[in-house]
Structure formats: C-alpha cells, structure tokens
Amino acid sequence: SYWPPQYTIMDGATLEPLKVVSTRGMTVDTQEFHPEPRVAAIVASHQHPEFIVNVKETGQILLVNYEDINNLKTTTIGAARFLHDGGWDVTKRYFLTAANQSNKIAVVDSKEQTLAALIDVDKIPHPGRGANFVDPKYGPVWVTSALGNEKITLIGTDPEKHKDSAWKVVRVLKGQGGGSLFVKTHPKSKHLYVDTALNPDPKIAQSVAVFDIANLDAGYKVLPIADWANLGEGPKKVVQPEYNAAGDEVWFSVWNGK
C-alpha cells in the first residue's frame, strides 16, 4: 500500500490478512532511513513461490517467499530509488521495472534472484507493464515510453541468443511527445501502440501513435481516438491501449471532463 508503508500477505480465497510487513528502511543510494516508503508494483514470480515487491522511495526490490509466512524469507535487491511499475520479458524470467525519477530500468533475474542490470533511460520512464516483441535487427526487446519526453526506448532481453544486445538500449524511437503512460503490443499483432494521455497539447493527449514493428524507422501513424469516440465538449483524454485475446482489436479508456 502507499499508506501505511507496508505490504500485506492475504489468504487468496478469503482475502483474510495473514501477515503485515512494514517497508520502512534505508534508501539504496544514501543509506538514509526513510519513514514512509510506498509500495508500488507487486508481481508473482514464475520461478519461485515469491512475490516481487517494489518499494518506491527506498529503491529496494523485495523477493518475498510465501511458503512459510511465520518464518518469512525475503531477498532484498538494491536497485534505484523511485521504483514504480514494470513487467516481464517474453520468457517470464526477467522482471523489468522503472525507477522513474532516477531515469533507470532495473532488471531482476527472478530465477537467480539477483539484479541482472540497471539501465539508463530518459526521461521519467513509465512503461506500465511494458511491451515485448521481436525487433528485426536486435531480437527480443522490451519497450518503455516516458513521461518526460517523446522517447520510446527498446531494450534487448535475450542474453542467450542476442548477448550483445541484452540489457542494453538498442533503439530509441521518437513518439508524439511526453506524457506517455502505457505502451502495448500483442504476439499476433504487427503494431506497437503508444498513448500520450498527460501531454499538455490536447491533440496529442487525445490521440495515440502506432508503429509498424517490421518497419520501425518509418515513424508512426496518429490515430485520433477521442474524435472517433465522439466524446463531445470538455477536456478529453485517451489512455492505456489493451488488446483483446485474439490480438485483432485494441481497446482504449476514453473520457471527457464533463
């Protein structure tokens, strides 16, 4: 939770709280005590009976083993401060998560329970869960957009078959502008969608950019989603593209202030 600064392990069937654990502790960089570090993303490991817990202000990533909560075992990984959201690479071994105000992406190897990499990106990365696809040149990549600028950053994620590209920024695409919150694609889709919901320009905030994965250098096409939705008068927003299961439709959240 954001407040109080803690995470809670619950019974999955009844949601009964079984264990409450404080996240107060030392920051990863200056080693200063932080009294109110918020919990951001929590994801379940595919490798071990663990939850991966981002502690925002301290920059610590906790691997919490839930096999025996009365004798709780936790692996603490020092990453970078201001951890927020993230998602898996295509193998579901590596968890890539943004430390947004630190302008970094942390990569957790959930199998080895270690920090695989800490990658510099800019500015204020905000991937949501990120997006995975196979780059024509660099192989499997994971993608984040940013709040602070127009950059869409592609990071190589295949240390076995594309070692030279692994955990490196392999491409930076230019989107419509800053204020992006989510990127999305689908295994059956040829396109990458990028929103810009928090951009100060209404035309940009009300539309999305779409890239052709097979021809990324060609730039993007703009889809005027808010106009198509016929939202009427008032400040309009378009956010968070999501594919259906078949991968042949993309859905958006749209609204206006009135």
| Separation between Cα atoms, residue 127 and residue 105, nearest integer Å | 10
Mean pLDDT within 198-225: 97
**Structural domain boundaries, residue 90:** 1-120
**Looking at residue 203, what is its pLDDT?**
96
Domain at 94, CATH number: 2.130.10.10
User: ∠ at Cα 237 (234, 242), nearest 5°?
Assistant: 150
Contact 76, 62 (CB under 8 A): yes
Residue count (the chain) = 258
Question: What integer pLDDT is reported at residue 131 of this predicted model?
Answer: 98
Q: What is the pLDDT of residue 217?
A: 94
- 240 to each of 50, 64, 111, 129, how far by Cα in Å? 28, 29, 30, 11
Q: What is the mean pLDDT of residues 208-220?
A: 97
Bridge-based pairing state of the strands 6-10 and 17-22: antiparallel
Q: How many structural domains compose the chain?
A: 2
Give the mean model confidence (pLDDT) for residues 161-173: 98
Closest Cα partner for 97 from 62, 137, 148? 62
Torsion over CA: 98, 99, 103, 107 (sign): negative
Task: Name the band, by pLDDT with cuts 50, 70 and 90, for residue 257.
Answer: confident
Q: What is the pLDDT of residues 101-126, one digit of tens each?
A: 999 999 999 999 999 999 999 999 99
**What's the mean pLDDT in 172-176?**
98
Q: Is the pLDDT of residue 258 over 80?
A: no
Q: Say whether 12 sits in a helix, a strand or coil.
A: coil
pLDDT tens-digit readout, 36-86: 999 999 999 999 999 999 999 999 999 999 999 999 999 999 999 999 999
Q: Is the pLDDT of residue 181 over 80?
A: yes
Q: Which of 85, 120, 155 is the last residue of a domain?
A: 120
The predicted structure's pLDDT at residue 215: 96
Cα dihedral sign for 118, 123, 129, 133?
negative
CA 44 to each of CA 95, 205, 251: distance values in angstroms, whole numbers, following the listed order: 10, 32, 26
Token pair recorded at residue 179: 């204020």
Q: How much of the chain exceeds pLDDT 90, in percent?
A: 96
- The predicted pLDDT at position 47 comes to 98
Question: H-type helices in 33-97, by residue range?
Answer: none
Sheet of 191-195: strand order equals 183-184, 191-195, 208-212, 220-223
The reply to whether 89 and 150 lie within a common domain is: no
**Residues 122, 151 contacting (CB under 8 angstroms):** yes
Is residue 108 domain-shared with residue 195, that is, in the same domain? no
Are 36 and 57 part of one and the same domain?
A: yes
Claim to verify: residue 27 and residue 97 sit in the same structural domain: yes
Provide the β-strand partners of residue 210: 193, 221
Q: What is the pLDDT of residues 52-65, one digit of tens each?
A: 999 999 999 999 99
Residues paired with 175 in a beta bridge:
none
| Structure confidence at residue 205 (pLDDT) | 96
The verdict on 86 and 176 lying in the same domain is no
The pLDDT mean for the chain works out to: 97
83 is written with which tokens?
């951890």
What is residue 4's three-state secondary structure?
Answer: coil
Q: Which of 120, 147, 167 is the last residue of a domain?
A: 120
Same domain for 104 and 175: no
- Say if residue 232's pLDDT is above 90: no
Given 86, 120, 154, the domain boundary residue is: 120
Burial 37-49 (b: 16+ CB within 10 A, else e): bbbbbebebeebe
The residue behind tokens 């190589």 is 156
| Residue % of the chain over a pLDDT of 70 | 100
